Amino acid sequence: MYQKSQMGIKILSKCFSGLAAMLILFSVQAQTKVFDKIIATDGSGDYVSIATAINMYSNSRKVFFIKNGTYNEKIFIDAIKTNIRLIGESVSGVIITYNDYAGKSSFSSSTADSYTVRVEGNGFYAENITFQNTATQAQAVAIYTKADTIAFKNCRFYGYQDTHYADNGRQYFLNCETRGDVDFIFGNAAAMYDKSTIISRNRKGGYVTAPSTTSLTSAKQGGGTDYHGIVIKNSILRAESGLADNSCYLGRPWDTNAASVFLNCKIGSHIKPEGWSVWTTDPLAQGYNNYTTAFFAEFNNTDSTGNPVNIAQRVSWSKQLTTGDTALYNIHNYFLGWNPTLKTSALPAPLNVHIQNDSLKWNTVAGVRGYAILRNDSVIGFSTTTGFSIAGKLTQNYRVKSVNPYGALSAASLAVSTNIRVIDETSIKGQIYSSNDVLYVPENEKTEIYNITGALVKTIYFGRNISLSVIPKGIYIVRVTYKNGNILIRKILK
């Protein structure tokens, strides 16, 4: 847990009291560099525009925190700007939006130019951001991903036709939501949606995927070729309210050697029983025969109620995979050794968050880049240490999030309020102690005993003399809560 340093606390208290007015604003200039730069529409950060921040990219300016706000801009991240990370405060609060479509102007004459955000820099990572294209007239891309080893977590992609253009490279999408109607996840990339939600919009019937000629392939054991196309696994496919049953296909082949695979998904009744479609229904039109080289497959899918999906009417050229076939679709195999979970795996939330002498304190989390501090669920600052000044703040709730080396945020810690204070070490000396397997504490409402890792071992209500006989020997943290809300914390050795 933590150890108190009374001298250090007194020094910090004096420093922060002299800067209280400045700290009320939580100036980002005073923050340590958990994130290289802060972007905020209200002017409280380093930039008000995401595009401007990215234009200032350098090796020391590529990890950005984006505060809640609507950013109406068209953003291009070119190939020389690698390993950029955009971390949003919240997915519902950070919205990047634009209205563009193919043919709108000479600058957006094609589908590829109609994007709201276009990523070409390898190693990109985004979290907690909504990417949106509001145009409905024609092809209108919300996110165009043309890069390798990129990942998105807790993001939303909102559009209509051609919402997500996945063009080349290995691309991973975890716990994301994508909305569209026609070909709204399309391209030739090795793109994997995992634990995500795919929503067909109530505008017209359409196609969930439209894979093109697969850019990444590997040799099958025993001969043949594996096509690493669009994979949607452990996900939910559903319709917006009002969209009729049997309105949409799982996919159609944009070009030859296209691949689209659905594994362990829950599929709504808006999907047609035949599953997949040809590119065009005109047998004489170019592209009609694309289906003859397509690899369209599924495994262990269910309907919206959890029953095995009815495959009796699936098109004859689609495939039902066996358990053995699915080995290709684990992350390591599909991405040929690249592991995106290094970016997306959050660290544990900080433990033992408490208030002491006008500062927020918590336990160290191993491997952090730093910590994000939330007041009433809004991010108000960052710290590379396990403390943050909250001088002058009354009746506020605070939480802390860990930040992993890639910028990904953990879940929030338990909340602590400025109504609850930790009493100074000098005032509790001798009030909490153990002797002969008995813990002695002052009159209280609740006593909690934690082991050195922060795990709760025992909770006792209103107890004064607490037996420790069943607790193994070791170092423990005792947290005693008074009826008035004050808290005593003491380390004991059993």
| Tens digit of each residue's pLDDT (9 = 90 or more) over 72-89 | 999 999 999 999 999 999
Q: Residues 269, 245: contact at Cβ < 8 Å?
A: yes
The pLDDT of residue 394 is 62
Is the pLDDT at 212 greater than 90? The verdict is: yes
Is the pLDDT at 485 greater than 80? The verdict is: no
| Tens digit of each residue's pLDDT (9 = 90 or more) over 379-394 | 999 999 999 988 766 6
The pLDDT of residue 235 is 98
**Mean predicted confidence (pLDDT) in 146-174:** 97
Catalytic residue among 36, 100, 148, 183: 183
Residue 469 CA to residue 435 CA, distance in Å, equals 11
Following DSSP, what letter does each residue of 377-419 receive, concatenated?
TEEEEEESSSEEE-TT--S-EEEEEEE-TTS-B-PPPPPEETT
Residue 368 CA to residue 408 CA, distance in Å, equals 10
Pick the CATH number of 1-30+347-419 from 3.30.930.10, 2.30.130.10, 3.40.225.10, 2.60.40.10: 2.60.40.10
Say whether 282 is catalytic. no
| Tens digit of each residue's pLDDT (9 = 90 or more) over 28-80 | 333 448 999 999 999 999 999 999 999 999 988 899 999 999 999 999 999 99
Weakest mean pLDDT among 119-133, 183-197, 326-340, 405-419: 405-419
**Mean predicted confidence (pLDDT) in 230-256:** 96
Pick the CATH number of 425-493 from 2.60.40, 1.10.150, 3.10.350, 2.70.98: 2.60.40
The pLDDT of residue 372 is 96
Task: Quickly state the pLDDT bin for 189 (edges 50, 70, 90).
Answer: very high
Is the pLDDT at 402 greater than 60? The verdict is: yes
Weakest mean pLDDT among 7-16, 134-143, 170-179, 392-401: 7-16
Task: Quickly state the pLDDT bin for 419 (edges 50, 70, 90).
Answer: low
Catalytic residue among 162, 181, 226, 358: 162
The pLDDT of residue 423 is 45
| Alpha helices (H) in 278-366, listed in sequence order | 331-334, 341-344
The pLDDT of residue 123 is 97
Residue 432 CA to residue 408 CA, distance in Å, equals 39
Q: How far is CA 172 from CA 28, 76, 115, in A?
A: 31, 19, 19
Q: What percent of the chain has pLDDT over 70?
A: 90
Question: Residue 152: helix, strand or coil by DSSP?
Answer: strand
Question: CA torsion, points 439, 441, 443, 446, in degrees to nearest 10?
Answer: -70
H or E, element range at 210:
strand 207-211
pTM, two decimal places:
0.79
Question: Residue 171: helix, strand or coil by DSSP?
Answer: strand
Is the pLDDT at 12 greater than 50? The verdict is: no
The pLDDT of residue 383 is 94
Task: Quickly state the pLDDT bin for 20 (edges 50, 70, 90).
Answer: very low
pLDDT, averaged across the chain:
88
Which ranges in the chain are annotated with CATH 2.60.40.10? 1-30+347-419
Separation of CA 347 from chain center:
12
Is the pLDDT at 268 greater than 90? The verdict is: yes
Residue 107 CA to residue 311 CA, distance in Å, equals 44
H or E, element range at 8:
helix 6-18
Is the pLDDT at 160 greater than 50? The verdict is: yes
Q: What percent of the chain has pLDDT over 90?
A: 68
Say whether 255 is catalytic. no
Give the end-to-end CA distance of the chain in Å, rounded to a whole number.
Answer: 16
Residue 218 CA to residue 208 CA, distance in Å, equals 25
Q: What is the CATH number of domain 35-344?
A: 2.160.20.10
